[in-house]
Every structure is written in C-alpha cells, then in structure tokens.
Amino acid sequence: MAADSQQRELLRLRLGAHGIGGTDTPLHVLERMLAIQAQDFAAARWAIGIRSGVTDAAVLDAFDRGELVRAWTMRGTLFTVPAVDLGWMLALTGPRMLAQATTRRAQLGIDEAMLDRVQAICDDALASADDLARDEFMTLLVENGIDPTGQRGYHLIAHLAQTGYWAWGPVRDGVQRLVPTERWIRESRTLERDEALAEFVTRYLRGRGPATVRDFAGWSKLTLTDSRRGLEIARTDGRVVPFDADAGLWSTADAETTAATATTADAGRRAFTASVHLLPGFDEYYLGYTDRGPIIDPANEDAVVPGRNGVFQPTVVAAGRVIGTWRRRSSRAGVGVEVRPFDGRPPSASRMKAIERSTAAYAAFLGQSHVRSQ
C-alpha cells in the first residue's frame, strides 16, 4: 500500500474507531472509548455528543443514572469513564498518581493525618447526604479549620478520587456532585492485573486505533513495560492485530467493523474524504496520541495550544486532518461557529456546506437553533 494511501486508511480507521459523527448511546460510546478527557466538562459532553448523536441533556442523564462518572483516572487529569470500569482502572493507575503527587502534597502542607481527617469529615457529612458539591466540601474544610485556598481544597478532592473514595456523578441545578463510589456505583468490574492491562490496551485501541504502544503509554501513563505486557496479552488472545508492523501500529481485530461497514465501500471512502467535524477542545482525537504527526502539521500545533499553555482549542477536522480551530458564536437567534483555518483562506463552498452540517449537529446537541457560521 502506497504511503499516501496508508495514511488515508490510518485516518479513516481512527475516525471510525472514535465513532465521530456516529449514532449510539453515551454509555456505549464510553464502553468503546473507555475514557474521554474531561477537565472541561462541557467540552467532554460534546465529545460524547459528537460520537453518539444525542443531546447534551441525554449525556447528563447518563451521569444522573450512574452509568458514567468523572474522575482523575490518569495523568492526574479528569476523565469521563463508565462507572463499572472505574475500580480496576484506579487499581492500575492510582498508586502511581498518588506517588507522583507526594511533593505537591508537601508543598500544600498536606500530610497523612490531614488526609485521614478530611476523609473522616466527608464520612460524617455523607452519612446524612447522598452527595456533596465542590462548594459544600470547601465549606466543610473551613468549618473544620482546614484552609482550602492555594489549590489545597482542589488537591484534596482529587486525592480522595484517586483513592477511589468518590467521583463526580449526577448534576443538580447545573452543578456536578461528588458521590461516594461504594454507594453510587452499583456494579463494579474486578480484573486481575494482567487482564486489566490487556483490557486497558484493547479498549484504548478499539476507541483510537490504529496506534502504537508508545501512544498508549503516553495516554495512560502506565509504564512502557506494563503497556507492552498488556499489548502482548491482548495480541496472544487475538484481541489486537498489527495494522502496520513496520510502524509499530496496532488496531483491534474488529477495527474494520468498528469503523462502520459503510466505510469499507468506495462510496464510504469518498464520504470520509469529504467529512468535516467540529471537535471540542481537549478531544481524544487530538490528545489520544503521543505522535500527532498523522493528524496535524507540526507548524500548526501552536494554534491549537496557544503559547503551549495546556489549553487545547476546539478543532476543525477534515478527512481526518486538523485544518483549523473554531469558536462558538451564540445569539438570540441560536448557535453558530467562527472557523479559523490554519491557511487563512475562506473554506470552499463544498467545505462550508460540510461545516454548516457540523454546526447544525452541534446546535442540535445544545437544543438550540442553528445560525449560519462565520
């Protein structure tokens, strides 16, 4: 297969693995993806919406039903995950995250005695309440003589989440609530370590492949040794197969089915070539890989992360490549977007039509009218 053709096939399969533009339930999206980065909760909900075709209200319902939770599962960062998978994921990633935070805890004046005391305070509060809002937790700290300022309160919330004590669950009056996992999560999968490693790699590739083991290690922050072990177990079981052995790219054995049957036909490939999607900031399509070369010209990366400040902008993806950024434009008439192509040129008429279709999907997700984009 020629290099250009191989590259197009890689992007086609990746876009299909992500399910972008697909129709599904929020839970099924996360069962495939395993985790979606979610420090920006609104962006994370659109990441689910663009992969499922449902509304924002339907995504919130999945949290309210206890199907999905948001927690610090990897890299010290918030992710949305299926509630049933939270336990085994934290068993793999939690100890390393907690160890890496030791220095920061010391800087904040947090010792083991404080951690034990804070959990006891939360135990008392949750004995008579189903959940806590962030502000309510901060008030509890102040009432018990613990200063939550200087990121101390935030770090304490994250620490308890990384130990599996609680997670962000339902949304009440526009505020997501912290829920004790033992009560909120009705069913939790338990996996032996090797099986958990293989499951981690398989689910990563099912939702993002083809990709390399280094992509997975960078995403999960598991050691490269553990990542390779998980890949080898999954390979032996027949769950993952090489996509391009020379490049070290792997996919799941059902990757073509995951990419959707229609894309196997020439018509489907033409549809992929013409596709345009408006992805949220911090989307897994951009952040799910160590090597972003296949999806973006390195010269344009600063436009996605201005000043390398860690804040990833929403991106415009055409035929699997990131070609620009976009921002929401709201008015009384409804929702539109302003597109900023990297090349500075106005989109062609055909591409603009595709952008309008994507804008209409975004407006429908928000439950608002669609107005013409800029």
Q: Give the count of beta carbons closer than 10 Å to the beta carbon of residue 284.
A: 24
Q: Model confidence over 16-57: pLDDT tens digits?
A: 999 999 899 999 999 999 999 999 999 999 999 999 999 999
C-alpha 160/C-alpha 125 separation (Å) is: 15
Kindly tell me if the per-residue pLDDT of 272 is higher than 90. no
Asked whether the CA dihedral 327, 54, 283, 80 is positive or negative, the reply is positive
Beginning with the edge strand found earlier in the chain, give each strand of the sheet holding 276-279 in spatial order.
276-279, 315-318, 321-331, 334-341
Whether 265 shows a pLDDT value over 80: the answer reads no
First to last CA, the chain: 39
Q: Check: CB of residue 116 under 8 Å from CB of residue 165.
A: no
| pTM given for the model | 0.94
Residue spans per domain, the chain: 3-184, 193-257, 266-366
CATH 2.40.50.140 holds for 193-257: no
* b/e map 121-158, b = 16+ CB within 10 Å: bbeebbeeeebbebeebbebbeeeebebeeebbebbbb
- Separation CA 85–CA 62 (nearest Å): 15
Pick from 38, 54, 49: nearest CA to 277 = 49
Cα–Cα distance, 212 to 247 (Å, whole number) = 8
Note the pLDDT of residue 5: 81
Tell me the pLDDT tens digit for each residue of 313-354. Answer: 999 999 999 999 999 998 888 999 999 999 999 999 999 999
Give the containing element (helix H, strand E) for 120.
helix 112-126
What average pLDDT is seen over the chain?
A: 93
Q: How far is 163 from 329, CA to CA, in rounded Å?
A: 40
Concatenate the DSSP letters of all residues of 178-247 into one string: EEEHHHH-S------HHHHHHHHHHHHHHHH-SB-HHHHHHHH---HHHHHHHHHHHHHTTSEEEEETTT
| Residues 330/324, Cβ–Cβ less than 8 Å | no
pLDDT tens by residue, 99-158: 999 999 999 999 999 999 999 999 999 999 999 999 999 999 999 999 999 999 999 999
Which are the contacts of 116, defined by CB distance < 8 A and separation ≥ 6? none
- Provide Rg for the chain, Cα atoms: 21
Residue 263: band (very low, low, confident or very high) from pLDDT cuts 50, 70, 90: very low
More confident of the two residues 15 and 2: 15
The pLDDT value recorded for residue 1 is 45
Instruction: Quote the Cα angle for 82-87-92, to 5°.
Output: 110
Residues facing residue 77 across a β-bridge: 74
Determine the Cα–Cα distance for residues 29 and 239; give it in Å rounded to an integer: 19
Q: Answer whether residue 65 shows pLDDT above 70.
A: yes
Tell me the average pLDDT across 60-86.
98
Q: Are strands 321-331 and 166-172 parallel, antiparallel or unpaired?
A: unpaired
* Confidence bin at 274 (pLDDT 50/70/90): confident
- Round to whole Å and give the CA distance between 325 and 362: 15
Q: How far apart are CA 136 and CA 173, in angstroms?
A: 14
At residue 269, the pLDDT reads 60
Concatenated DSSP letters of 290-339? S--TTTS-GGGHHHHSGGG-S-PPPEEEETTEEEEEEEEEEETTEEEEEE
Please give the average per-residue pLDDT across 198-225, as a whole number. Answer: 98
Q: What pLDDT band is residue 7 in, cutting at 50, 70 and 90?
A: confident
Q: 130-147, pLDDT tens digit by residue?
A: 999 999 999 999 999 999
